[in-house]
Structure 1
Amino acid sequence: MTFPAPIDPPARLLMGPGPISAYPSVLRAMSAPLVGQYDPFMTATMNETQSLYRDVFATANDATVLIDGTSRAGIEAAITSLVRPGEKVLVPVFGRFGHLLAEIAERALADVHTIEVEWGQVFTPSAIEEAITRVKPTLLALVQGDTSTTMCQPLEEIGEICRRHGVLFYTDATASLGGNDFEADAWGLDAATAGLQKCLGGPSGSAPLTLSDRAVEVVRSRSRIEAGIREEGDASADDFVRSNYFDLGMVLDYWGPRRLNHHTEATSMLYGARECARVLLLEGRNAVIERHRRIGDAMLAGVRGLGLDVFGDVAHKMTNVVAVEIPDGVAGDAARQAMLTDFGIEIGTSFGPLHGRVWRIGTMGYNARPDAVFSTLAALEHVLRRFGARVPVGGGVDAAAEALT
């Protein structure tokens, strides 16, 4: 029998919308030795990680944990645990990931209502309040940063609107947390989830999650353990969370002082998630956000310096990703492949109405740094010229460098 060689990935600079190149210290942390799930070191590390992510989310929520799984696991845990079948969920959709929230809520048997704006735009608070008044939902599920369009939905006024109407407020901050302003408590969020593979600078596979006391009350009211119910046949109503793995009441008991067994914590991912938060807070949360803003502005200036148009309302663009209109006559997918094959640089395509129309270029986490911007712009200039586009010589790098001065 012939065995494959040891894993040896090619060198890549991941400059798409995520995943991105991880901080080296995160990769080192993930190679640390394993311990048992109730080893004092393990439980202490879990407690440290909870404390770190409270600072990342800017919250005092005790219920701040990791969901073992990709960012989508965090989304599903939040929605599945917060919404009973038949309850109304309102999802404002301004890109692909709003549709994802709606689908997950539908699978949870919620009565899902959506409102939409044109891709490249965001919602006004008044539009969201009008829909809340009309629909009367139990939960508002709203993406903060949608990488499919690169738009960042303002959240500052939404929490107060939700409180006024008695609505729970959940946001998916997968693509935005750590690189854009985020204030869970100040903005009145009841639930928020994220992933490591964007601005937090780690690999996909762990989903930080935080819940307000109001959200915890809902989660607890749906817990089989709290009700003394252990077997599926004991439940005759839809009050209880249908999923075992995504039952946040059970997850909170696992992470809390009772340490009730729920699953075996993904130890290496825990180490990585802890290091992502540690690195961010060591640099300073606001400093990291400002770094993303500064480097994102440089990339924006650079693609414009190449004569390229930018998609969407730039005033509401995320700091960490830009959507670039593919020039007429340039084969978008072939050019992306040339970037990867010839330069080892990955940039992203897009979805739905934007597929084949834009490239998405990310500057986030470890890659939110000047040399990554310059390398990407220099390679993009070369590829564009090879594919027949007329672009200014050095225009991208020069414009980015000027933006950084």
Structure 2
Amino acid sequence: MLRPLEAPLRHLFGPGPSNVTPRILAAGSRPIIGHMHPEMYEIMNDIKKGIQYAFQTENNMTIAMSGSGHAAMECAVFNTVEPGESVLVAINGIWGERVAEIAERSGTSLLGLQTPYKKGRFSLIAIEKHKPVLFFLTHGESSAGLCHPVDGIGDICRKHNCLFLVDTVASLGAAPIFMDKQNIDILYSGSQKALNAPPGTAPISFNERACHKMFNRKTKPISYLFDMTHLSNYWGCDGKPARIYHHTGPVSGFFALRESLAILAEKGLEESWKKHKEVAAYLYRGLEDLGVKLFIPDRVRLPSVTTIAIPEGYQWRELLSYIMKHHQMEMTGGLGPSMDMVIRIGLMGYNCEKRNADMALNAFADALKNCKKTKA
């Protein structure tokens, strides 16, 4: 503790967090102001507008959580579901598993809906059969490198009076999502991936259907911190003239998030989606040239996080340790159900450049050349 803080400079080419642009770092280092100063409210209003653009929504109930994507995940479930109600969770990786556990801890009647990674689509008959109050789907499943189609699901949920909750932590800014057009009732994301802000803030939005369910509960949400009755006031979304203290928000984190959303707006969503798709395709070709097998079929691949099957005969931990030691570069193994099945390479936001794809490919080729291959 009696020495200066040191942090290594690394290429964060894993599933997140990603490297942060100098502009966003500079925004986050500006002098602290009070979390309830008028200037802070203006910044929060800018954040709300930026999230509305990124989500493609006009929802008034749009805020950023003080916490990671998990905070938004819990906020969504805690506020819209009451004990004894049924929740249907599409499990296509670890994030479906996490929501299932959160719903179970909330005292709900949990229904799980599994799908093989290679299939990439769920059968939605269960919505009609069980009529849950909430259906959850991960749009960008970073543990598998899967981008699940969303079109039409919101229509089915509305037909059966079910709220549609979608996780876009790994896909926002990298793959198209249209909250209003696709009839998504609740959408959330995280700051640290394609948005390129530091970890610690999480955009979330609720439409009128979700708000009606949320604000007409018979019981209070199990979390005070994530209670949208209070958070809606803190963010100026409840129509009341004064904002009342609820918690101390991460001021520097909000500065950085505001700047990241401004950069996305300046660049444009369509340009961001296009670039992620082009750089991902470039990376795919390079990996195939190395003889590496891509884990997910092309039609449902997530542009921001690419998963490859662990090369036959290699120990994935040895490969990744070599890359970190010799190239100061982070790639990661699988997570949850994909553990010991894949290696994950993330090129998103600021890192989404062909020169970075070349660096990742060169590092991986070097590891394949120098790491020992087993005889198996």
Give RMSD over aligned pairs: 1.3
The 5-angstrom pairing of residues 157-236 of structure 1 reads 157-222=152-217
**Conserved in 1, the CA contact under 8 Å of 2:280 and 2:303?**
yes
Identity of paired residues, percent? 31
Out of 244, 255, 272, the residue aligned to residue 288 of structure 1 is 272
**Conserved in 2, the CA contact under 8 Å of 1:94 and 1:121?**
no
> What amino acid sits opposite 1:245 in the alignment?
L
Distance (whole Å) between structure 1 residues aligned to residue 307 and residue 35 of structure 2:
43
The 5-angstrom pairing of residues 324-403 of structure 1 reads 324-388=308-372
Aligned counterpart, 2:223:
243
Matching of residue 254 in structure 1 with residue 254 in structure 2: no
**Conserved in 2, the CA contact under 8 Å of 1:177 and 1:194?**
yes
Alignment partner of 2:368: what SS?
helix
The 5-angstrom pairing of residues 64-103 of structure 1 reads 64-103=62-101
Distance (whole Å) between structure 2 residues aligned to residue 382 and residue 37 of structure 1:
48
Alignment partner of 1:221: what SS?
coil
TM-superposed CA distance for 1:356, in Å, is 2.4
**Conserved in 1, the CA contact under 8 Å of 2:93 and 2:338?**
no
TM-superposed CA distance for 1:312, in Å, is 2.2
Cα–Cα, structure 1 residues 330 and 288, in superposed 2: closer, same or farther, change >3 Å? same
> What amino acid sits opposite 1:243 in the alignment?
S
Alignment partner of 1:177: what SS?
coil
TM-score under structure 2 length normalisation: 0.95
**What is the count of residue pairs matched by the alignment?**
369
CA displacement 1:266-322 (0-9 Å, x = unmatched): 100111111111111111111011111111111111111111011122210111111
TM-superposed CA distance for 1:96, in Å, is 1.3
TM-superposed CA distance for 1:72, in Å, is 0.3
> What amino acid sits opposite 1:254 in the alignment?
Y
Distance (whole Å) between structure 1 residues aligned to residue 127 and residue 115 of structure 2:
16
**Conserved in 2, the CA contact under 8 Å of 1:181 and 1:289?**
yes
Alignment partner of 1:89: what SS?
strand
Structure 1: gaps (5+ residues): 223-237, 390-405
TM-superposed CA distance for 1:353, in Å, is 4.5
Distance (whole Å) between structure 1 residues aligned to residue 372 and residue 313 of structure 2:
7
Provide runs of 4+ in structure 1 moved above 3 Å: none
**Conserved in 2, the CA contact under 8 Å of 1:88 and 1:111?**
yes
> What amino acid sits opposite 1:107 in the alignment?
R
Aligned counterpart, 1:270:
254
Aligned counterpart, 1:105:
103
Aligned counterpart, 1:233:
none
TM-score under structure 1 length normalisation: 0.89
TM-superposed CA distance for 1:382, in Å, is 0.9
Aligned counterpart, 2:289:
305
> What amino acid sits opposite 1:18 in the alignment?
G
Alignment partner of 2:246: what SS?
coil
Structure 2: gaps (5+ residues): none
Distance (whole Å) between structure 2 residues aligned to residue 184 and residue 355 of structure 1:
31
> What amino acid sits opposite 1:174 in the alignment?
V
Out of 16, 23, 26, the residue aligned to residue 25 of structure 1 is 23
Out of 25, 37, 50, the residue aligned to residue 48 of structure 2 is 50
Aligned counterpart, 2:12:
14
**Conserved in 1, the CA contact under 8 Å of 2:322 and 2:371?**
no
**Conserved in 2, the CA contact under 8 Å of 1:78 and 1:248?**
no
**Conserved in 1, the CA contact under 8 Å of 2:93 and 2:337?**
no
